[in-house]
Amino acid sequence: MQTVSENTCFGGVQGVYSHASTACQCDMTFGLFLPAEARDGPVPLLWYLSGLTCTHENAMTKAGAQAWAADHGIALVFPDTSPRGPGVADDDDYDLGQGAGFYVNATQTPWAPHFNMWDYVTEELPALLTDKFAIDGDRQAITGHSMGGHGALTMAMNLPGRFRSVSAFSPICNPTASDWGRKQLTAYMGDDETTWQRHDATVMMGRTGFDGPVLIDTGSKDQFIDLLRPESMAAAIALRRQPATFRLQPGYDHSYFFVSSFIEEHVAFHAQALWD
Sorted by sequence, the CB contacts under 8 Å of residue 197 that are 6+ apart come out as 176, 203, 204, 207
Give the span between the Cα atoms of 115 and 103, in whole angstroms: 8
- Check: CB of residue 120 under 8 Å from CB of residue 21: yes
Give the span between the Cα atoms of 195 and 203, in whole angstroms: 12
18 is catalytic: no
136 is catalytic: no
Q: Which of 114, 150, 254, 270 is catalytic?
A: 254
82 is catalytic: no
Q: Which of 165, 222, 266, 270 is catalytic?
A: 222
Q: Which of 146, 165, 170, 178 is catalytic?
A: 146
Please give the single-letter amino acid code of residue 218.
T
- Check: CB of residue 145 under 8 Å from CB of residue 121: no
Give the span between the Cα atoms of 176 and 218, in whole angstroms: 19
Residues carrying an active site annotation:
146, 222, 254
